[in-house]
């Protein structure tokens, strides 16, 4: 006979995270900088009260369990309230990436069947442009002060403060099944239409607990956390949930993410920890170097979304900030690994740790990883065998919104990344399967070649892509932005590789460009580069 434990059952609901923060850390601040640069300041208690008011407004209008509500907004307190107000009554907060093409945004809103959309004033023109394509949206709500709204609107728009104003300040959050959907986020759709990933209360709560641990993001009540990663893409890596969980102060940077704007905000608010993609940190370090400014409190930067080049980690160290490498993806809510010291490496010197910390790190408790070869056999954790990275765990998607087709292979989610895992469990992404360069039957890691280019003092940014080659199938081409004032040429840069990789891995050519295309989430847009330069070698060999 099975013998069950005799413990209370409490559903894991997101509302309970904020409710506890409002009691336990009631005076801890949430600071938001708006698009104009003005600072708004309130506390977890205020956030909880106003989220409850939003919940009542939605219920009064007839929003039901499972209904989707879209958001088009920067990181800020009203966006945080929609996270909690919508999900707290069983609705689904559908965060939309405003940097996508308007047609893609309309597609996503229609696919999700959003009943209402909340948007920041800076996206008013976008909303007017797409509203006609989204006939199912019943109400457009601008995240702004009370009406009157600008009379120029061509569609009917309400103000957020009108919507929630005057409602009861004491709202009792309903209890429901923890497996119900809470947040919906679409992948960027670099291949095909965007696909919706539907997170549950349970999955997000468990990720918040696990990600706060000392060897994960190391969050605590004494930290001041600035989520620079957008709340419109994969829950700002869960920080709007994990920060209230531990009672950390939150600082939302709004729309301005350049080095100077972030530095001044961090200094003013005493930010200790932040999280962003490498391109943001490149800008940050560049500003600190140019201005000669220091950081007083800011000591840890989570770097993820794309590989953290060793050179970036080294530059951050030089300015006094520790880069903490993390890996994940939309389908993983997104956190899969964080690179932190193992027991064996507790006292490793800086050089040794710098070498290990270029890896993406070890799986968070609650996530399992393995690597498999082309025939699906599991590969050893020896730090050299590279295979497709597979994941499973409490916050890994098993299918996409609106589809009952499983995304899993034999119970595991195929990540599309190629990785090695060493005997201590440190996972290292060598490439994305669609970016890996297949030359004469061998695989060349585009990330490794990019990292070498980035370690050259005259290179500002670099991308490496596989281009069609009549003899070798594909050969690597470097696309490079030089540092200002540099006259670096292709021969000089390619000679730089000679003592760093095998001869056959050295790129065949370099194209210098003024800037590199980025995706809506700030990553290198290699698809666009492949479209433009894919025939570089075919064309140039044809000419000779
Ligand atoms: P998309 O880029 O399609 O929007 P995601 O935002 O979910 O999708 O990105 C997930 C992918 O980003 C991962 O599968 C991986 O290829 C890449 N990625 C994320 N973090 C890292 C990292 N630290 N190092 C290397 N690649 C990373």
pLDDT band for position 521 (50/70/90)? Answer: confident
In a domain, 497, yes or no: yes
Q: What is the predicted pLDDT for the residue at 36? A: 85
In a domain, 268, yes or no: no
In a domain, 168, yes or no: no
Summarize the chain as % helix, strand, coil (round to 5): 30, 25, 45
Query: 521 alpha carbon to ligand 1 midpoint, in Å?
Result: 10
In a domain, 455, yes or no: yes
CATH number at residue 532: 3.30.300.30
pLDDT for residue 192 is more than 90: no
pLDDT for residue 532 is more than 80: yes
Give the rounded percent of residues in the chain with a pLDDT score beyond 70. 99
Per-chain mean pLDDT for the chain: 95
Instruction: Give DSSP secondary structure letters for 59-83.
Output: HHHT--TT-EEEEE--SSHHHHHHH
Q: What is the predicted pLDDT for the residue at 441? A: 84
Whose tokens are 């970036």? That residue is 312
Is 368 an active-site residue? no
CB 361 within 8 A of CB 341: no
Question: Which residue in the list 438, 442, 500, 504 is annotated as catalytic?
Answer: 438
Helix (H) or strand (E) holding 284: helix 278-291
Query: 428 alpha carbon to ligand 1 midpoint, in Å?
Result: 13
Cα–Cα distances in angstroms (integers) from residue 105 to residues 116, 126, 131, 334, 389, in the given order: 14, 9, 10, 21, 30
- Give the C-alpha separation, 251 to 273, whole Å: 10
Beta sheet of 68-72, edge-to-edge order: 157-159, 139-142, 116-119, 68-72, 92-95, 181-186, 196-200
Mean pLDDT of 414-421: 97
Q: Which residues line ligand 1 (CB under 6 A)?
A: 187-188, 190, 304-307, 325-330, 334, 360, 415-417, 429, 432, 521, 523
The protein residue with its alpha carbon nearest to ligand 1, atom 25, reads: 307
pLDDT band for position 189 (50/70/90)? Answer: low
In a domain, 519, yes or no: yes
pLDDT band for position 190 (50/70/90)? Answer: low
Instruction: Give DSSP secondary structure letters for 311-330.
Output: HHHHHHHHTT-EEEEEEE-G
Predicted model pTM: 0.93
In a domain, 73, yes or no: no
| pLDDT tens readout for residues 383-397 | 999 999 999 999 999
In a domain, 476, yes or no: yes
Q: What is the predicted pLDDT for the residue at 266? A: 98
In a domain, 398, yes or no: no
In this structure, the chain runs to a length of: 544
Domain count, the chain: 1
- Give the C-alpha separation, 4 to 197, whole Å: 33
Query: 433 alpha carbon to ligand 1 midpoint, in Å?
Result: 11
Range name among 195-199, 432-436, 504-508 with the lowest pLDDT average: 432-436
Cα–Cα distances in angstroms (integers) from residue 368 to residues 143, 321, 363, 364, 430, in the given order: 39, 30, 6, 8, 19
Mean pLDDT of 294-314: 95
Segments forming the whole domain that contains residue 503: 435-543
Closest CA to 20 of 333, 358, 202, 246: 246
Is 223 an active-site residue? no
Please provide residue 197's backbone torsions phi and psi, each rounded to the nearest 5 degrees: -110, 125
Distance from the Cα of residue 211 to its chain's centroid: 14
Beta partners for residue 524, in sequence order:
518
| pLDDT tens readout for residues 356-411 | 999 999 999 999 999 999 999 999 999 999 999 999 999 999 999 999 899 999 99
Q: How many CB atoms lie within 10 A of CB 434?
A: 14
Q: What is the predicted pLDDT for the residue at 443? A: 87
pLDDT band for position 539 (50/70/90)? Answer: confident
Mean pLDDT of 455-463: 94
How buried is 143 (Cβ within 10 angstroms: 0-12 exposed, 13-18 middle, 19+ buried)? Answer: buried
């Amino acid at each position: 006979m099975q013998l069950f434990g005799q413990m209370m059952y409490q559903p894991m609901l997101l509302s309970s995270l904020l409710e506890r923060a409002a009691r336990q850390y009631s005076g801890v601040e949430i600071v938001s900088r708006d698009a104009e640069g003005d600072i708004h300041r309130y506390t977890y208690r205020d956030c909880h009260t106003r989220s409850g008011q939003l919940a009542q407004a939605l219920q009064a209008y007839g929003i039901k369990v499972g209904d989707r509500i879209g958001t088009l907004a920067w990181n800020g307190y009203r966006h945080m309230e929609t996270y909690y107000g919508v999900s707290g009554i069983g609705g689904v907060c559908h965060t939309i990436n405003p940097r996508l093409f308007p047609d893609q945004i309309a597609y996503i809103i229609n696919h999700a069947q959003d009943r209402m959309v909340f948007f920041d004033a800076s996206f008013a023109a976008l909303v007017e442009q797409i509203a006609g394509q989204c006939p199912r949206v019943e109400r457009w709500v601008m995240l702004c002060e009370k009406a009157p709204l600008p009379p120029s609107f061509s569609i009917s728009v309400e103000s957020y403060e009108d919507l929630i104003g005057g409602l009861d300040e004491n709202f009792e959050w309903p209890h429901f099944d923890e497996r119900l959907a809470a947040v919906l986020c679409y992948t960027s759709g670099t291949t095909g239409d965007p696909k919706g990933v539907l997170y549950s209360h349970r999955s997000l709560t468990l990720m918040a607990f696990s990600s706060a641990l000392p060897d994960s993001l190391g969050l605590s009540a004494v930290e001041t956390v600035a989520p620079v990663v957008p709340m419109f893409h994969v829950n700002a890596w869960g920080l709007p949930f994990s920060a209230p969980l531990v009672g950390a102060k939150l600082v939302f940077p709004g729309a301005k993410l350049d080095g100077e704007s972030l530095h001044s905000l961090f200094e003013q608010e005493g930010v200790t920890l932040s999280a962003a993609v490498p391109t943001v940190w490149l800008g940050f370090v560049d500003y600190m170097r140019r201005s000669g400014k220091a950081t007083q409190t800011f000591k840890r930067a989570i770097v993820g979304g794309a590989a953290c080049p060793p050179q970036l980690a080294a530059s951050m160290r030089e300015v006094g900030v520790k880069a903490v490498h993390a890996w994940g993806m939309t389908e993983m809510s997104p956190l899969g690994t964080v690179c932190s010291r193992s027991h064996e490496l507790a006292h490793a010197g800086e050089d040794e740790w710098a070498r290990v910390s270029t890896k993406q790190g070890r799986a968070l408790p609650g996530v399992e990883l393995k690597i498999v070869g082309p025939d699906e056999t599991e590969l050893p954790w020896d730090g050299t065998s590279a295979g497709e990275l597979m994941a499973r765990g409490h916050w890994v998607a098993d299918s996409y919104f609106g589809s009952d087709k499983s995304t899993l292979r034999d119970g595991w989610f195929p990540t599309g990344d190629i990785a090695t895992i060493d005997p201590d469990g440190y996972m290292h992404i060598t490439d994305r399967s669609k970016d890996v360069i297949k030359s004469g039957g061998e695989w060349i890691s585009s990330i490794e070649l990019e990292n070498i280019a980035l370690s050259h003092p005259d290179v500002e940014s670099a991308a490496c892509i596989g281009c069609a080659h009549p003899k070798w199938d594909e050969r690597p081409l470097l696309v490079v932005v030089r540092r200002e004032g540099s006259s670096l040429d292709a021969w000089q840069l390619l000679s730089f590789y000679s003592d760093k990789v095998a001869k056959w891995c050295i790129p065949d050519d370099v194209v210098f460009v003024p800037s590199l295309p980025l995706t809506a989430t700030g990553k290198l847009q290699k698809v666009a580069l492949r479209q433009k330069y894919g025939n570089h070698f075919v064309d140039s060999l044809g000419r000779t």
